[in-house]
């Protein structure tokens, strides 16, 4: 429960890359009332050379990191995939796609993610379609990474088209993350969930994210820190919640954005239980 | 679409956010002055990012009510077809160079 200056709400951070963070960050999350987190598979900052490297990474996500989080009283869940930044190499992609179902079976894996596009290329799109097919066959939740900056609008549209082309996928079981002002309305109109990422410089500031809530509403939307190995802030959700409090939004609305909404989406996977 | 109306009055918004945004607009002015003073200033002003930035400033003062979305769209790649290849590409520039830029 976050108590800073009267902010007493429960918070779930549904997108944070704890493999890149220190134990000090786990302690900060625990003290701040962020007791449930989910970690999508992502790019390590360099391209991995073999499928074997991904086995190690998926073991870290499904076994090592939940154990590290538990020492701080934090429930840690994860998502499994080959991230789009490494999808250009189709041979590597095939190796990784083959092992993904084994790791999706694990108790801490909530679904397929963060899949999507990075530079909106043909190969990235092929690999995205393969991931979507795996999710459809297994009835998995999907967490989507959308491209950065000038690539975001086009990439978000390509991603949504690819997912909607797979008729077995229900959009209400898909969250399109890193949404911004140019994509929120289209994502909502197509029935997907919206993720807002609070990340310095390249994504939303807390103030802009709250502006988006005021402009586009609070239904089917969550916020996350996406804190990773770059300049980022694992307590960004807390700061956005405080921005809402400072503007005079109700505690019930803050609780909806930072706890009830992510809980509702994630609870579509029976493995998930919020702290 | 349902919205969550801001509880703040315009006066309260100004009281809360004016100073930080005054500082930001001074930073923008200083950034443009820095380009003016820099070596090869005219060449820099031909860069697609500089042009996109100047276009954005016009949108900022000409639009009303939905400036952020308008700016985001103005910086965006508006093509529709997937890129042929992402080999060697990872990051983004923040502005779109225009059609055919991927083949450069």
The string of DSSP codes covering B4-38 is ---SS-HHHHHHHHHHHHHHHHHHHHHHHHHHHHS
CB A114 within 8 A of CB A75: no
Assess whether B67 and B52 both reside in one domain. yes
Tell me the per-residue pLDDT of A206-259, one tens digit each, with 9 for 90 and over.
999 999 999 999 999 999 999 999 999 999 999 999 999 999 999 999 999 999
Into how many domains does chain B fold? 2
Q: How far is it, in rounded angstroms, from Cα A148 to Cα A47?
A: 18
Contacts of B74 in chain A (CB under 8 A): none
Is A56 in a helix, a strand, or coil? helix
A chain contacts of residue B17, beta-carbon cutoff 8 Å? 207
ipTM score: 0.93
| Phi and psi at residue B88, to the nearest 5° | 80, 0
Asked whether the beta carbons of residue B76 and residue A248 sit closer than 8 angstroms, the reply is no
Assess whether B33 and B23 both reside in one domain: yes
Residue of B nearest to A162 (CA): B82
Residues ≥6 apart with Cβ < 8 Å to A69: A18, A26, A37, A75, A76
Measured between beta carbons, the chain B residues lying within 8 angstroms of A202 are 92
Taking the Cβ of residue B17 and every Cβ of chain A, the question of whether any pair is shorter than 8 Å is answered with yes
B87–chain A Cβ distance below 8 A for any pair: yes
Residue A217 with chain B: CB contacts under 8 Å: 1-4
Q: Classify domain A4-266 at the CATH topology level.
A: TIM Barrel (3.20.20)
What global pTM score does this model have?
0.95
Angle value at C-alpha B13, between B12 and B17, nearest 5 degrees:
120
Pairwise CB contact (< 8 Å): A151 & B92: yes
The predicted pLDDT at position A1 comes to 64
Each domain of chain A, given as residue ranges in start order, spans 4-266
Same structural domain, B72 and B46: yes
* Predicted confidence pLDDT, tens digits, chain A (275 residues): 665 446 788 999 999 999 999 999 999 999 999 999 999 999 999 999 999 999 999 999 999 999 999 999 999 999 999 999 999 999 999 999 999 999 999 999 999 999 999 999 999 999 999 999 999 999 999 999 999 999 999 999 999 999 999 999 999 999 999 999 999 999 999 999 999 999 887 789 999 999 999 999 999 999 999 999 999 999 999 999 999 999 999 999 999 999 999 999 999 999 999 99
């Amino acid at each position: 429960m976050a108590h800073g200056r009267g902010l007493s709400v429960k918070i779930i951070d549904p997108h944070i890359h704890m493999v890149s963070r220190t134990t000090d960050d786990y302690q900060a999350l625990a003290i701040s009332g962020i007791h449930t987190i989910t970690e999508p598979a992502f790019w390590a900052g360099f391209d991995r050379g073999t499928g074997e490297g991904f086995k190690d990474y998926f073991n870290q996500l499904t076994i090592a990191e939940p154990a590290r989080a538990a020492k701080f009283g934090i429930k840690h869940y994860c998502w499994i995939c080959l991230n789009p930044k490494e999808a250009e190499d189709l041979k590597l992609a095939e190796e990784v796609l083959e092992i993904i179902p084994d790791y999706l079976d694990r108790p801490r894996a909530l679904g397929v993610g963060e899949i999507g596009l990075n530079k909106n290329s043909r190969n990235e799109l092929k690999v995205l379609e393969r991931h979507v097919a795996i999710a459809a066959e297994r009835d998995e939740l999907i967490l989507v990474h959308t491209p950065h900056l000038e690539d975001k609008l086009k990439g978000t549209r390509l991603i949504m088209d690819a997912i909607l082309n797979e008729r077995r996928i229900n959009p209400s079981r898909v969250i399109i993350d890193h949404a911004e002002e140019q994509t929120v309305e289209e994502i909502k109109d197509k029935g997907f969930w919206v993720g807002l990422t609070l990340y310095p410089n390249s994504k939303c500031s807390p103030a802009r994210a709250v502006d988006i809530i005021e402009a586009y509403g609070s239904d089917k939307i969550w916020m996350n820190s996406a804190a990773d190995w770059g300049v980022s802030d694992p307590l960004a959700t807390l700061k956005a919640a405080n921005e809402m409090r400072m503007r005079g939004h109700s505690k019930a609305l803050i609780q909806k954005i930072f706890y009830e909404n992510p809980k509702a989406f994630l609870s579509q996977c029976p493995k998930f239980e919020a702290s | 679409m349902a919205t969550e109306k801001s509880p703040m009055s315009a006066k309260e918004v100004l009281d809360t956010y004016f100073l930080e945004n005054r500082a930001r607009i001074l930073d923008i002015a200083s950034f443009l002055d820095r380009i003016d003073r820099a070596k090869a200033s005219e060449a820099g002003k031909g860069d697609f990012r500089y042009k996109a930035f100047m276009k954005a400033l016009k949108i900022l003062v000409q639009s009303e009510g939905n400036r952020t979305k308008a700016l985001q769209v103005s910086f965006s790649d508006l093509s529709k077809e997937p890129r042929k290849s992402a080999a060697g590409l990872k990051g983004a520039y923040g502005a779109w160079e225009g059609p055919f830029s991927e083949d450069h």
